[in-house]
Structure 1
Amino acid sequence: MTSRHLGSLRLLTRSLWAFPAVLTMIALVTVGLSVSATVLPRAVDGVISDIVRHDVGNAAPVNRDVISAGQGRYDLGPSVAGTPAGMTAESAAVWGRLDDQLGQFHDTLPAPLRETIGAADFTVATVPAESWIAGILPASLGLRYDPRYLSRITMTAGRAPAGVPERVPSETPLEVIAADATALKIDWAIGEERPLFLNGATQQLVLVGTFTPVDADAGYWTQATSTHRPAVLPGTPPTVQALLFVNPDGFPAAVAGGLPITSSVWFPARADAVSAEAVPTIARQIRQLTTVDHQLGDSLQPRLVFTSGLPEVLEESLARSISTQSVLTLIMVSPVGLALVLEVLVARLAAERLRQSLALLAARGASRRQRLTVVGVPALLLGLLAAAAGCAVGALLPGGEFGSAALIAVGVSAVAPAVLLVAFTTQVDRSGNADRSRLPGLLRLAGELLVVLGTVAALLATVQRSIGSAESGGTSVDLLATSIPLLLSLLGCIVMLRVYPVLVRRWLAAAQQARGIGAFVGIARAIRGGTAGLLPLLAVVLGVSVAVFSGLLSATMTTGLDTAARATVGADILIENVRLDPAALQELRTIDGVADVAGVSVDRSQKVEFAGHAATTASVVLVDSAELRAVQAGVPGRLPLDDQLLGTAGDGAPVMVSARLSEALEGTRVAELDGRPVEVVADPIDGGPLALDGNWVLLDRSRADAINFISQETSTRALVRVTDPASIPAVVDRLRAALPVTATTPTTASVRFTTAADTVAALSANPAIRDVHTAAGAAIGGAALITSLALVLTLLLDGPARRGAVALLSAVGLSRRQGAAIVRWEIAPLGIAGLVGGAVLGGALSLVVLAIVDLRPFTGGFAQPTIAVNPWLTGGSIALFAAVFLLTGAAASRHATRRDRAPSPTDASTTALAGTSPQNPGRTS
């Protein structure tokens, strides 16, 4: 073949189709890597957006909505655009103009803020005033005007209020409707009148109907306080506060009567419209909105002044989500390294398959550059096409925006086949000499030293900080820290590559003493190494380590979630929003399934003073130390109550304080609590088990007389321990049924029961928990798949040489059983070392990485969870890899000992001699 023919396009075209099997493998691996490179970065971004949306959706409406509180002075009049949605024509004649103005204001907001908050809503009400009759609890009632109220409620009895008075108060009874709970609480029947004392006059109210909310959890009821559920104000006797719906068309009458009015205009946050990328912009735009007042159109009424906690909600959520991003990155790093090993194996196999063809081209006059062009150009073209196809497929899958990281990863996956194939072809084609033979060894040593130094440096740089911790204030992933798993994996592989030959030689020495030649010959061949070298060992070690690490991470999060939930509840059952006296607590103890009950009293508004500092406020907590210890026995994170609480302090009542208050005290042990002296007798504690945060002071109930505490014997919370954990749901039902009798006075909020299972379910609803578990499972499955492919490629690489060696020995009397034993013993060291080394490396990764990563944002706990092992998950993962290895070994054994396709002894000897090791050029495999 002439140089003209060799340099022609015809030669390039022929080379593209000369090795279809090799090209198919390269294409499949490149497509897979390109899909992963496209999907994984976008998937992580999508997870972060899901977390932010979840946090915004779970935030209290008063914290996430954009709110303007006022005094109800708005422009009233009809809408120019017709009847607004949710209003009647009569209501639109009064409220339509305000609705138009708010809609126009919303349209002027900049994007993405305009899409993040929904259309405006509003409500107005009179300030509650006294209403009482003999024999009924005193009430404080207000009138709520809302043109859309009928769309928010379901009438349970009676009818909607009608009539539009000219003025309120007036002598004409005013029709109202009340929530079922309100009517029941103040014993108000439909058709009955009640007096309301307004501006020195009496306005008779007639109840014409009752209602329940369509959605009691809707954000509207947070703005329309005390409307769907009455509030009970403490006192002797207590006062019931409630707001009643009246005909909204009559609001001008309230204005004409000069009644004090409160109003609220708000734009509800739309969690589904938030994305992680837009968080900084949205937060900035809201802060700009809330720093100035705003005029509604040409209105002469007072301007709107908005407040919102949404910027803080968004930024705190984004900061917490960095932990999720870090953990997902940690999970993905090692599988990516495993995929690179597979890529190298494919290139090595391709180079071996092309060896004879390239030698033939060289013999026919092709230059080295031409031979590399024949190999590299088709591989590059194929890599580009396969990467483009994989990128197109990945772009169709859900995720975040396509960023620079995904683009770089796709580009690397596109050119990697050509680069690796050319590199291995050069290695195969290169003739060895003394100088060059030493160079790979020096490069390997330099690379190993670089990995060791890099690992040590990364560990030292991150040992004092946790990835994405809230304390660090970081809003991006610590790339140095997230590189630690990959560096540790590389370090573990280096150790295995150094230790593996030593171990195999010792096994060979032991095999010399054994009967039969199977173990000796097989281990000897394992020492020499096949065409793939030690790459299969790296694949097995990395694959098993990924599975073990992912399994331990998943188990740790599951166990940590349960532990944190139990610590948060503080007992088997936590009851909140109750008022229970000692007799009521004792009645709860008699309920079937209840082992013990501890009451907790909280006063949230006491002043703490100490020398040299400004006064601060703190909650005061009363507990019975003995009861609380009994109830919290065995509970993780239980309160470490000090025995000195029962003693007599020298400078006042003995107390324990929260960590935050202790910081404010700056080590001061003596202070005054609402004018009474107290002394801190123990180290600060965390109040998580009692659902307390901020500043608080705890003391034993027996020392309550030493301070000012209203209703010392009344508990507002109760911790319950059950006799059988399996009976918790049934006990909750019994407690719920008993509380209407035992609760002395209901509070504003409804009674709430919380169990560890409820808390786990609430925490598990966080997308971060779901996605990390999904990623861990995908990592285990992906590692098993990639390891299987690596072992299959190794079988393909070493198959001809292995079959040739077995056939050659068969010619001198080797039985088929002995041949199979040789193959099994050849592969056994790889499997044993890979499984053991991978398990050890995975455990080491878990110990180091989980000490760096802060998992508390996932578990909601107060302390970092300890590493946990799920025997079924971890053992099953290792068993999966063992099964993959056994199946691969059985296939290799059968393939090497098949008689019907075995070559002749002469051909076998030629094939056996042709099989060389990269570590031992020219030596028989």
Structure 2
Amino acid sequence: MTLRLIRREARGDLPLLACLAVLVLVLTALCAWAPAVAGRQEDRALQQRVDAAQAQAPLISLSATPEVFNTTPPAVDMAGLLAAGGTFTEQLHGPAARRLTFAGGAGYDYNQASLTAPQPPGPAHTSTELAISYLPSAGAHVRYVGGHAPADLTPAGTAPQIGLSQATARALGVRVGSRLTLEFPATPAVQDAPPHATLLVSGVYRPTSAADDGFWAGRETLDQPLRHPAERSAGTVLAVRGLVGLDAADLLSGAGVGGPRVTWHLRADLSGAALDQARALAGPLSHYSAELSGDRCQGADWITGDISCHVGGQATGPLLVTDFLTPLLTTFTAQDHQARALAAFAVDALAAVALATVAVAVRLLLRRRHAHLRLQRARGASTTRLVLLRCAVAWPVVLIAAALGWAAGRALAPAGTSGAPLPVPAAVAAAVVALVVPLMTWSAVREPRRPGRLRRSRRRTAVGRRVVLESTVLLAAAAGVVALRSQGPDGILGAVPVLVALAVVLVLLRVYPLVLRLVLRQIRRGRGTVGFVGTARAAHDAPATGLALFVLVLTLGTAVFGGLVQRTIGDGAATGAAWTAGADASATVAGTVAPVPGDATSGGTSGGIRTAVQRLRTFELVGQADGAVVAPVAVVTVDPRQLAAVAPKSPLAGALLSKLAVPPGSRIGADATLPSFLSPDLRASERTGGFTSTVLAPGQRSVNLVLKPVATLTAAELRDPLLGPVTARLPAGTPLLITTAAAEPVMPDQSSGTTVLLLKSGGPAAAGAPALRAEAARALGPLARIQVRSAALGTLREDGLTRGLATIYTTGSILAALFGLLALALELTLTSPERGRTTSYLRTLGLGGGAAATLHFLQLLPLAVASAVGGALLGLLVPRLMAGTLDLRQFTGGPAQPALRTDYSLTLALVLGVTALILAAAATETVLARRRRLGAVLRLA
């Protein structure tokens, strides 16, 4: 074997070697480029979640209580203690130390103290409890309308300053310049009597509309005072909160008040390769609390006996780490795993199509070299020599293409992402292509077996092997489906749809020749020859077109499946956004409060906006039949007419309107029976009777409620978007009861309750998102958490995992279609001589040009129909097989798995495209056949 011989062989195989080079180049380039692009999408998705979570609340917080009684007199340096938060990242080493930074938003909170003077005006209160906080971030959320903010450095000899909200100042009956006398709890084992301190009201504020970052979550008492029944005596407790300056803790410690709870916040910075950074951070975070305590805490405090720690030179109690970042990362990891499993179908399908295209290219190469190989064989060339000659021609091309593809993929891949190039899959892809050449060459040139068996026995052996092979494929596909449904999708089981596609192709190869033979029986009775010959030729060539059929079916099925996933996610995202917002928008505020009166909240419209109010309370119910106690139960009061105006097509609103509606303006008395809708779990706890509940109203006598079930909420009604904002405030599994808003006068207000305002934009000039936000803030105040459906929908659609999945399926479908087009062209080129020979025979017998064109179409039409039917069937069948494990809720939100939505327009377009492609090939063959002269026709015949 000489270099000259290799060059001569390569020149003859140049077109097909170029096809192999393109396939290898694309595959290796994808192995280098695609992981980086996918990693960038994952990084964006994780950054979106981390940024959204940190906008609502800090993800990592540390807290401790300073010891003020270990010095004489008691003292604490609060400025130095808060600044020491910057040293908490010293226990984190390596990349983790750079991803957690001190947020600088440290503050402190005192437990509630009793207000002894002045006494609040109005209804008598058993006691008044005032909690004070130092919150540096409060300046962006409040605006002082009287006085000024508490000073961080109080002049010597003056009392600590405090700022109160307008509602709190009105409830306490104080103004700027008033003094508040507080009695703080005594420190055990240190003080015999509670210490007292005096605070000076320096200013009165009111909240601004800057409530989007979750500042007010859990801090509602900074604005609105709460009233709740006293625990051990009759009466009402007034609970309020105020803001103090930085040095208030220093002054209070000098007055003998125990240390406050100091809180430091750490901020996670996951920019760039966010997923890799999160993985590097997960390990240190798991033992961060133990390492921090081991470094900062030694022994026990001599006064309290608790563990004593030191922060910034200050003695403190135990350090408590609150970590919300780790659960967020765990949830994202599960979602990312699901997204990767869905993407595996597109990746595996693309790999299978590429491998089939390689097989078709090598098969065509060997078919073109068939006569040459037979001649070399006749001249004494061994099988090994022929195989090595093919390898010497093809392997350099494969290696060069693999190197160029890898270099191009590395050059195009984005830098700084969590995705790394995959050299092993690239090497495997190049090795598989390289091995296909010698294996198929050996199969084509190997010596035939010695004649010794009858032809019938050989035929039986071939049939038996085919049956065994097909049975193995069908059993493997069935086993893969069972494993997929039991274990869920993962990287390995992502190849199951490819096995299903292979099984579908095998079934088609068995079925559609039988269908063609049935058609032949009908055509044989006619006088036409073209139809009979074309159909017979198509039935005869069916096994030879198996690879082309497999490529077309898998390509079309992948595209249909991708369209189904995207359509399901798109429709499900709209449902999830509606569930999040409840209507066009919703506003949620703590407490069972009354919205500010206005046109919209009084049943009319304001700027084309309609509203409905839902109030959530938590009661303990007692079954009338068996006396069983069910607690806690979420009780929602609604006006069915308002709900029907906000959501006219809602099944829940229609059901409530038919059975809960009362005449306008009517009220239900304290002894009346309240009609109610029950959730199925609550109905199961009391199957025959109703429920009673005894609730306490602040400053009033107890109220006895009788709740009569009139219907049970169906699954569709429980998933109605109108309940979305309400159920978001409830722990999973909480029983639900819905009753009429006419019963609200007999129900006590609860500080732990929730008020939800639903808003619908309607009328000829529908209000946009800014108008909805403005109306919600006007009705419920700046503390309301506002959700707009259009904004929630935009967030779901812009999610990094969703966009990444769409990118993978779009890219995979385009590349698979290009590979499939190449495979189809090669397969048709491979089988074209047989069809041309048949046409030439008939043309020598007088067949006309139009009849020849019809013959070409008839020979390829069954392949087009089988490909379209098989691909559409595969794309529709695979999601149904994966229905139990195909969890798309992470992409759509909402309470339930979104229903699978087939994109029929895309499916129809793909089917028509595949059919048109094959028929275009038939037209091309017809044009080429017409250009043949008589001599060429006679040679083919």
TM surpasses 0.5: yes
SS of residue in 1 equivalent to 2:320: coil
Q: CA RMSD in A?
A: 5.1
TM-score by length of 1: 0.77
Match of 2:912?
A: 879
Offset, 1:800: 4.6
SS of residue in 2 equivalent to 1:272: coil
Distance 1:494 1:671 in 2: 62
Q: 1:533 aligns with which of 545, 555, 559?
A: 545
Match of 1:794?
A: 827
Distance 1:374 1:666 in 2: 84
- Residues 412, 532 of structure 1: alpha-carbon distance in 2 compared, 3 angstrom cutoff: farther
User: Which segment drifts farther, 291-300 or 786-795?
Assistant: 291-300
Match of 1:832?
A: 865
Letter of the aligned partner of 2:477 in structure 1? T
SS of residue in 1 equivalent to 2:767: helix
Distance 2:467 2:281 in 1: 52
Is contact 1:16-1:378 (8 Å) kept? yes
- Residues 691, 873 of structure 1: alpha-carbon distance in 2 compared, 3 angstrom cutoff: farther
Match of 2:13?
A: 19
Offset, 1:729: 3.1
Match of 1:321?
A: 336
Match of 2:269?
A: 270
1:201-600 residue pairs with structure 2 within 5 A? 202-207=198-203, 217=212, 221=215, 230-233=223-226, 244=243, 246=245, 248=246, 252-253=250-251, 255-258=253-256, 261-272=260-271, 275-276=274-275, 282-291=281-290, 293=293, 295=296, 299-302=313-316, 303-396=318-411, 397-398=413-414, 400-402=418-420, 406-430=422-446, 434=455, 438-463=460-485, 465=486, 467=488, 477=490, 479-480=492-493, 482-512=494-524, 517-529=529-541, 533-577=545-589, 579-580=593-594, 587-591=601-605, 597-600=611-614
Letter of the aligned partner of 2:827 in structure 1? T
Work out whether 1:165 is the aligned partner of 2:151: no
Match of 2:303?
A: none
Offset, 1:28: 0.7
User: Which segment drifts farther, 231-240 or 108-117?
Assistant: 231-240
Offset, 1:528: 3.3
Is contact 1:232-1:240 (8 Å) kept? yes
- Residues 25, 602 of structure 1: alpha-carbon distance in 2 compared, 3 angstrom cutoff: same
Offset, 1:21: 1.6
- Residues 882, 126 of structure 1: alpha-carbon distance in 2 compared, 3 angstrom cutoff: same
Structure 2 runs not aligned, ≥5 long: 70-76, 184-195, 230-235, 297-309, 450-454, 663-667, 696-703
- Residues 624, 638 of structure 1: alpha-carbon distance in 2 compared, 3 angstrom cutoff: closer
Letter of the aligned partner of 2:52 in structure 1? N
- Residues 633, 787 of structure 1: alpha-carbon distance in 2 compared, 3 angstrom cutoff: same
* 1:252-281: CA deviation from partner (whole Å, max 9, x where unpaired): 445545566442112122343775466566
SS of residue in 1 equivalent to 2:737: strand
Distance 1:570 1:216 in 2: 20
Work out whether 1:762 is the aligned partner of 2:800: no
SS of residue in 1 equivalent to 2:553: helix
User: Which segment drifts farther, 682-691 or 16-25?
Assistant: 682-691
SS of residue in 1 equivalent to 2:586: strand
Work out whether 1:733 is the aligned partner of 2:771: yes
Is contact 2:640-2:653 (8 Å) kept? no
* 1:374-394: CA deviation from partner (whole Å, max 9, x where unpaired): 112433343333233333333
Work out whether 1:144 is the aligned partner of 2:130: no
Is contact 1:672-1:678 (8 Å) kept? yes
Offset, 1:625: 5.2
Work out whether 1:846 is the aligned partner of 2:870: no
SS of residue in 2 equivalent to 1:376: helix
- Residues 250, 141 of structure 1: alpha-carbon distance in 2 compared, 3 angstrom cutoff: closer
Distance 1:674 1:277 in 2: 55
- Residues 163, 530 of structure 1: alpha-carbon distance in 2 compared, 3 angstrom cutoff: closer
* 1:477-526: CA deviation from partner (whole Å, max 9, x where unpaired): 2744x344223212211111111212333444455566665434433433
Q: 1:124 aligns with which of 98, 107, 120?
A: 107
- Residues 115, 272 of structure 1: alpha-carbon distance in 2 compared, 3 angstrom cutoff: same
Letter of the aligned partner of 2:409 in structure 1? G
Is contact 1:118-1:268 (8 Å) kept? yes
Is contact 1:169-1:201 (8 Å) kept? no
Q: 1:781 aligns with which of 814, 817, 829?
A: 814
Match of 1:603?
A: 617
Is contact 1:554-1:776 (8 Å) kept? no
Is contact 1:63-1:313 (8 Å) kept? no
- Residues 243, 330 of structure 1: alpha-carbon distance in 2 compared, 3 angstrom cutoff: farther
Letter of the aligned partner of 1:579 in structure 2? V
SS of residue in 1 equivalent to 2:265: strand
Offset, 1:771: 2.3
Distance 2:146 2:675 in 1: 55
Distance 2:29 2:773 in 1: 54
TM-score by length of 2: 0.76
* 1:114-133: CA deviation from partner (whole Å, max 9, x where unpaired): 34422353433464887989
- Residues 192, 222 of structure 1: alpha-carbon distance in 2 compared, 3 angstrom cutoff: closer
Distance 2:773 2:78 in 1: 49
1:661-680 residue pairs with structure 2 within 5 A? 673=693
SS of residue in 2 equivalent to 1:165: coil
- Residues 298, 861 of structure 1: alpha-carbon distance in 2 compared, 3 angstrom cutoff: closer
SS of residue in 1 equivalent to 2:376: helix
Match of 1:29?
A: 23
- Residues 604, 822 of structure 1: alpha-carbon distance in 2 compared, 3 angstrom cutoff: same
SS of residue in 2 equivalent to 1:864: coil
Match of 2:724?
A: 689
Is contact 2:595-2:601 (8 Å) kept? no
User: Which segment drifts farther, 548-557 or 105-114?
Assistant: 105-114
* 1:419-470: CA deviation from partner (whole Å, max 9, x where unpaired): 322333234335666466554433322121112222333334454x5736xx
Structure 1 runs not aligned, ≥5 long: 1-5, 76-92, 469-476, 913-925
Is contact 1:342-1:789 (8 Å) kept? yes
Distance 2:520 2:200 in 1: 103
Q: 1:719 aligns with which of 758, 778, 787?
A: 758
Work out whether 1:750 is the aligned partner of 2:783: yes
Offset, 1:65: 1.9
Distance 2:737 2:842 in 1: 84
User: Which segment drifts farther, 772-781 or 440-449?
Assistant: 772-781
Is contact 1:45-1:400 (8 Å) kept? yes
Distance 1:271 1:186 in 2: 45
Is contact 1:484-1:849 (8 Å) kept? no
SS of residue in 2 equivalent to 1:306: strand
SS of residue in 2 equivalent to 1:861: coil
Letter of the aligned partner of 2:650 in structure 1? V
Letter of the aligned partner of 1:426 in structure 2? W
Distance 1:115 1:674 in 2: 55
SS of residue in 2 equivalent to 1:835: helix
Offset, 1:27: 0.8
Distance 1:334 1:636 in 2: 42
Distance 2:614 2:138 in 1: 39
SS of residue in 2 equivalent to 1:700: strand
Is contact 2:96-2:277 (8 Å) kept? no
Is contact 1:549-1:842 (8 Å) kept? yes
Is contact 2:769-2:790 (8 Å) kept? no
Is contact 1:351-1:421 (8 Å) kept? no
Letter of the aligned partner of 2:264 in structure 1? V
Is contact 1:177-1:207 (8 Å) kept? yes
* 1:758-787: CA deviation from partner (whole Å, max 9, x where unpaired): 332232232222223333333443343222
SS of residue in 1 equivalent to 2:635: strand
Offset, 1:547: 2.1
Offset, 1:106: 0.9
